[in-house]
Structure 1
Amino acid sequence: MATTYFSKRNLQFLLHEVFKAEELTKYEYFSAHDRETFNLVLDSATYIADTLMHPYLKDVDKNQPELTNGQVTVHPKIKEYLKAMGDAGLIGAGFSFEHGGQQLPEMLSSCVGFILMAANNGMMYTGLTSGAAHLITSFGSPELNELYVPNLLAGTWQGTMALTEPQAGSSLSDVTTSATPLPDSQPGMAAYQIKGQKVFISAGDHDATENIIHLMLARIDGAPKGTKGISLFIVPKYRPDEQGRFVDNDVISTGVYHKMGQKGVPAMHLTMGSNDNTIGYLVGEPHQGLPYMFQMMNEARIGVGMTATGIATAAYYAALEYARERPQSRRLNNKNQLDAPQTPIINHPDVRRMLLFQKAVTEGSLSLLLEAARLYDISEVAEGEEKENAFLLLDLLMPVAKSYPSEMGVQSVSQSLQTFGGYGYTEDFPVEQLYRDIRITPIYEGTTGIQAQDLLGRKMTMKGGKAPQLLFAEMSKLIAEASTFDELKPYADQLGAELKRVQEVMMSLLPHAQEGNIERYLSDATLFLELFGIVVVAWQWLKQAVVAKQTLVTRNPQGDDLIFYEGKIHTMKFYFHYEVPKTLGLAVRLKDTEVLTIVSEKELAL
């Protein structure tokens, strides 16, 4: 197993040099912190990752959850991990002091998630708990907060998001789980009888915690049809009775899915109300379940992006270590010198290309996600125009921040596996597992197709296109800054040309939307998301290169630091020369008038 699974140096560079995380402490909410406390949090997460997670990567994968006699058992290390995370205050790190948290920025919480998922994404439990608890603190009554949040943040209870149903999939307007009001509810605990089924519920049942708390979407009797009639409920595995004891709540684990990857996390099929004895507690107002969920979705999508980036980063460092150690053949110009020793494969141009691709994808993704997390923080704590602009930019970038790391992360891990050759396909090295693990991330929290429709269908045009205008203004500022360095000016010019290309594509597509032909407008939305993502990550790479170049010019770094900063500029150049040109073909297709995917009267065989 690779000894390195992420770069502390790169994380520090992005957090402190590129995004200047400590500047967030000027806001009152984050004022208790400084650079030192930020680094202590990262050290704490790294210790847990090093001791309780990474050593058990393969073991957790091989000993997957099993459902026996209604009880799900998981790897015993998971219980230790959850306790350690709770004791360290990392599950609730971003929560307010009032709710038992540390009031840390999302930037730091995201970095913690990145470290943990790079170490062992088969222990993907605490992010789910944090998300569930955040819904309660945001919309729940004081009584619900008091009963559920402390145990969730302590890691003694597990939280889940229970949205998906067998017949509905991603179409939440078709949710049928029912909620019937019950008389004599306690104050702040409006009780409903719940009946229905949920599927693919990650960490939906297991023996590593004392209780499982589902944040569940259901439809109150008589509610309006569609998404406007969906409400949000707390549905615990064990509920409190009138004496305060916890009793079975008739939430039955009907089945556990055996998955391609992420095998350490049970994905459950749950049945509620088989004995007409499942009780749920309304969170917030009736019929507001979907808006509540969507308010939390930005956090969740940053989390998925970080999971993908963590997995791909671990695979990259495994491939890098192997390429440095594995001798094979001679360099191409010395092919006939058979008496010369073999050279490490890292010296072969095609292997370097694969490694540079992985570095470009993983470090570009991490930069984008920290940009999104910073905007999230500002949108939460700033005021007025600064708050509004941060939220608009975040909203626009979110489909890319979720989809680019996951889609390109799959390709990156594939190249990691390829670097190993035949060995990569075996269980002797971790990349075959990581390849299986990462494949779910383009599906989690809205598939790539859903993200694409969100980007092109809503985000590019909302408020008269104000969000892309803000983004292009940010990019233009960076282009001007980069143009002051002779080495970076060609890349600044190239990014400027890419902005124009995006605008040209939009101008060719918008008439379809204006005519009301939404199906035609969105038919190639996924290709638009891909094009837009390439350009957004190019922006992130140029941003990193500017900081690296400024440091080289002003500080004259030596040794490993010199190699690090020069490596940043070299990887930026690779991204612009190898990845950015892909926008040419995407733009040609997006502007093409030939339609081949929309169902017509003359149905063609597929």
Structure 2
Amino acid sequence: MAKKYISIENLKFLLNEVFNIEEVLESPYYAETDTEAVNMILDAAVDISDRHLFPFYTEIDRADHTFEDGKVTIHPEIIKYIKAMGEAGFIGGSFSFEHGGQQLPQMVTAASGAIMSAANNGVVMFTGLTAGSAHLIASFGSKELKEKYTGKMLSSEWQGTMALTEPQAGSSLSDIVSSATPTDQGHYKLKGQKIFISSGDYEGTENVVHLMLARIDGAPLGTKGISLFVVPKLREDENGNLIDNDVTTAGVYHKMGQKSTPAVHYIAGDNDNCHGWLVGEPNKGLSYMFQMMNEARLGVGLMGAAIASAAYYASLEYANERPQGRKISEQSAKDKPQTFIINHADVKRMLLFQKSVVEGGLSLIFECSRYADLEMTTEDETARKRYKGLLDLLTPVAKTFPAEYGIKSVSEGMQCLGGFGYTTDFPLEQHYRDIRITSIYEGTTGIQSLDLLARKIMGTGGKSLMLLAEEVKKVTDEASTYDDLKKYVTALQEKLQDLQKVTQQLGGMAMQGKMELALADATLYMEFFSLIVISWQWLKQATVAKKAMVTGNPEGEKLKFYESKIHTMRYFFSYELPKTLGLMTRLMDKDDTLTVEVEKELIV
């Protein structure tokens, strides 16, 4: 077991030096929180992680969850973690005081979430889902729903879920068929099946509250006819006692990774006795659910970066302790002892790749969290629209890059260990199994890529790209004041020009009615776009580090930290950003291999 799973120093660097948490805390909305409180919150996150999460990472995976006689059983330490989170107030950390929360900035909850997710990613999903579903009720539910559910969910007494996916529909939410029939008693009768419902049932929680999408009888087809309902596993009778609500767990899925978290298949209304309560207005359920889905997308991105972090520190530890071979320059000196593998150039490359993905991905998530904080607290309507536009644009990227490149990062970590990386004696194989789901959760990479290109860029007429360019310019202007960063400023500026060319080419296809062709390579566009965005984040971090070195004269470990930031930025610009050349070649090519009608036999 590795000794370290995340860098607290890096999280504080991002919070305090790169993204200036003090500026966010100046808002009257966050008057009850200061930097000292932020440090205490991070300490509390580390404490919970060290007591309930990290020590049990492998044990919980090996134990798995079970489903027998209709009951789902999970590891007992998970119950202790959930209780500790409720007692510490973490579940409602970002909720307003009015809704029973601590009114913390999103940046702070992202930092504490990164710590706990790096310690034991699957277990953290229990409380993350409860927070997201409770936030839906708090945002759009009636006063009665808020009073009945949010308090018990935030205290960890009741579990929350998001119930979207159905067997016949998958990610196509327009094709869901779960139904809701109105009654004259204030509730609806729900019927339907939902699959892949994480934390959807388990022994140890008093109740499970599903936020379920369904169609009211007679509602329009497609996404415009979807409504959102609170559907608890147990409902209260007239005396306030919890009774069965006709929500039956049909089974659990046996997953490759994240075995701590049961993914449930449940059936509602098999006995025509499932009660559900409408959230908000009829037929607006999907628009409400997008709140939780967007929060979850950032959460999945955070999870990807966090798992990659744990894998990075495990492989870094191994590379510092494993002697093997000699340096190329010392091959003839057989009398010399073996060197540690961290001294081999290719191992350095793999470790730098991991570090660049982890810290670059976290930086982008903190950027998005900052936009969310500023959007909510600014009184300037123009500024609010700007922050929202940037957040909308970058959310699919913040979900996808840490997932896709996180998978590659963990794979490189396994490679550092050689044959040992493929064994259960080291945690890399579990990290690899766990992180693989992140590119699928909350919309696959293909779906996120279509969202980025079709909705967030083409759908705004390119205005979102202009906002991004303005943000990048702030960084390049400051970085240009340092001679040894000018080379990287030029490289980033050139890549922004390439991004504009590619986007104009694809936009032109779309305007000609060739939408299928324009969007065929949306996933490649996502990678192209992501590498440029992460380069921006790395130049931002390197500029802050350079400024600190010039003005603060740091010494010792602090100096090494800043030097490491600049060195990792150099790696990313030298090794990762050039990958955009091949992607651009493909994206500028109008070949229609993927869209032309061909016989099926040509594919198989």
Match of 1:422 in 2: 419
Amino acid in structure 1 at the alignment position of 2:299: G
Amino acid in structure 2 at the alignment position of 1:21: I
CA contact (8 A) 1:61 1:122 kept: no
Match of 1:165 in 2: 166
Equivalents in 2 of 1:507, 1:93: separation in Å? 42
Equivalents in 2 of 1:502, 1:184: separation in Å? 56
- 1:241 to 2:237 alignment: yes
Amino acid in structure 1 at the alignment position of 2:227: S
1:193-204 correspondence to structure 2 within 5 Å: 193-204=189-200
Deviation at 1:481? 1.1
CA contact (8 A) 2:458 2:507 kept: no
CA contact (8 A) 1:327 1:343 kept: yes
Please give the secondary structure, in 2, of the residue aligned with 1:476: helix
1:377-392 correspondence to structure 2 within 5 Å: 377-383=373-379, 384-392=381-389
Please give the secondary structure, in 1, of the residue aligned with 2:251: strand
Structure 1: segments with no counterpart, 5+ residues: 186-190
Deviation at 1:112? 1.6
Amino acid in structure 1 at the alignment position of 2:181: T
Equivalents in 2 of 1:463, 1:587: separation in Å? 22
Deviation at 1:605? 3.1
- 1:283 to 2:273 alignment: no
Please give the secondary structure, in 1, of the residue aligned with 2:334: coil
Amino acid in structure 2 at the alignment position of 1:414: S
CA contact (8 A) 1:538 1:576 kept: yes
Equivalents in 1 of 2:551, 2:27: separation in Å? 30
Please give the secondary structure, in 2, of the residue aligned with 1:270: strand
CA contact (8 A) 1:30 1:104 kept: yes
Match of 2:487 in 1: 490
Please give the secondary structure, in 2, of the residue aligned with 1:389: helix
CA contact (8 A) 2:188 2:276 kept: yes
Match of 1:223 in 2: 219
- 1:120 to 2:120 alignment: yes
- 1:537 to 2:534 alignment: yes
- 1:88 to 2:88 alignment: yes
Match of 2:185 in 1: 184
Deviations, residues 540-589 of structure 1 (Å, cap 9, x unaligned): 00000000000000011111011100000000000000000000000000
CA contact (8 A) 1:158 1:213 kept: yes
Equivalents in 1 of 2:520, 2:283: separation in Å? 31
- 1:327 to 2:288 alignment: no
CA contact (8 A) 1:45 1:115 kept: yes
Change (3 A) 1:599 1:170: farther
Deviation at 1:467? 1.2
Deviation at 1:202? 0.3
CA contact (8 A) 1:94 1:105 kept: yes
1:49-448 correspondence to structure 2 within 5 Å: 49-123=49-123, 124-185=125-186, 191-383=187-379, 384-448=381-445
Deviation at 1:600? 0.7
Deviations, residues 469-520 of structure 1 (Å, cap 9, x unaligned): 0100111121111111111000000000000000010121112111222111
Amino acid in structure 1 at the alignment position of 2:587: L
Deviation at 1:296? 2.8
Equivalents in 2 of 1:77, 1:575: separation in Å? 39
Equivalents in 1 of 2:497, 2:96: separation in Å? 43
CA contact (8 A) 2:14 2:363 kept: yes
Equivalents in 1 of 2:537, 2:449: separation in Å? 20
% same residue? 56
CA contact (8 A) 2:386 2:467 kept: yes
Change (3 A) 1:158 1:563: same
Deviation at 1:462? 3.3
Match of 1:188 in 2: none
Equivalents in 1 of 2:340, 2:388: separation in Å? 48
- 1:552 to 2:553 alignment: no
Equivalents in 1 of 2:599, 2:83: separation in Å? 60
TM-score, scaled relative to structure 2: 0.99
> What stretches of structure 1 move > 3 A for 4+ residues in a row?
none
Amino acid in structure 2 at the alignment position of 1:168: A
Equivalents in 2 of 1:462, 1:87: separation in Å? 44
Deviations, residues 42-62 of structure 1 (Å, cap 9, x unaligned): 111110001110000011101
CA contact (8 A) 2:354 2:409 kept: yes
Equivalents in 1 of 2:114, 2:484: separation in Å? 32
Please give the secondary structure, in 2, of the residue aligned with 1:461: helix
CA contact (8 A) 1:60 1:122 kept: no
Deviation at 1:30? 1.2
Structure 1, 239-248 or 573-582: larger mean CA deviation: 239-248
Please give the secondary structure, in 1, of the residue aligned with 2:270: coil
Structure 1, 515-524 or 421-430: larger mean CA deviation: 515-524
Amino acid in structure 2 at the alignment position of 1:531: F
Please give the secondary structure, in 1, of the residue aligned with 2:67: strand
Task: Name the Cα RMSD after superposition.
Answer: 0.9
CA contact (8 A) 2:235 2:242 kept: yes
Equivalents in 1 of 2:567, 2:212: separation in Å? 48
Match of 1:582 in 2: 579
Equivalents in 2 of 1:475, 1:340: separation in Å? 49
Equivalents in 1 of 2:599, 2:56: separation in Å? 55
Match of 1:472 in 2: 469
Structure 2: segments with no counterpart, 5+ residues: none
Equivalents in 2 of 1:112, 1:133: separation in Å? 19
Deviation at 1:601? 5.2
Deviation at 1:64? 1.0
Equivalents in 2 of 1:276, 1:310: separation in Å? 43
Deviations, residues 333-365 of structure 1 (Å, cap 9, x unaligned): 111211211111000000000000000000000
CA contact (8 A) 2:252 2:263 kept: yes
Equivalents in 1 of 2:122, 2:399: separation in Å? 19
TM-score, scaled relative to structure 1: 0.98
Equivalents in 1 of 2:122, 2:590: separation in Å? 45
Deviation at 1:602? 4.7
Please give the secondary structure, in 1, of the residue aligned with 2:193: strand
Deviations, residues 238-271 of structure 1 (Å, cap 9, x unaligned): 0011111110111111010000000000000001
Equivalents in 1 of 2:319, 2:141: separation in Å? 52
CA contact (8 A) 2:133 2:292 kept: no
Please give the secondary structure, in 2, of the residue aligned with 1:441: helix
Please give the secondary structure, in 2, of the residue aligned with 1:580: helix
Structure 1, 386-395 or 593-602: larger mean CA deviation: 593-602
Match of 1:517 in 2: 514
Change (3 A) 1:390 1:460: same
Deviation at 1:208? 2.6
Please give the secondary structure, in 1, of the residue aligned with 2:103: coil
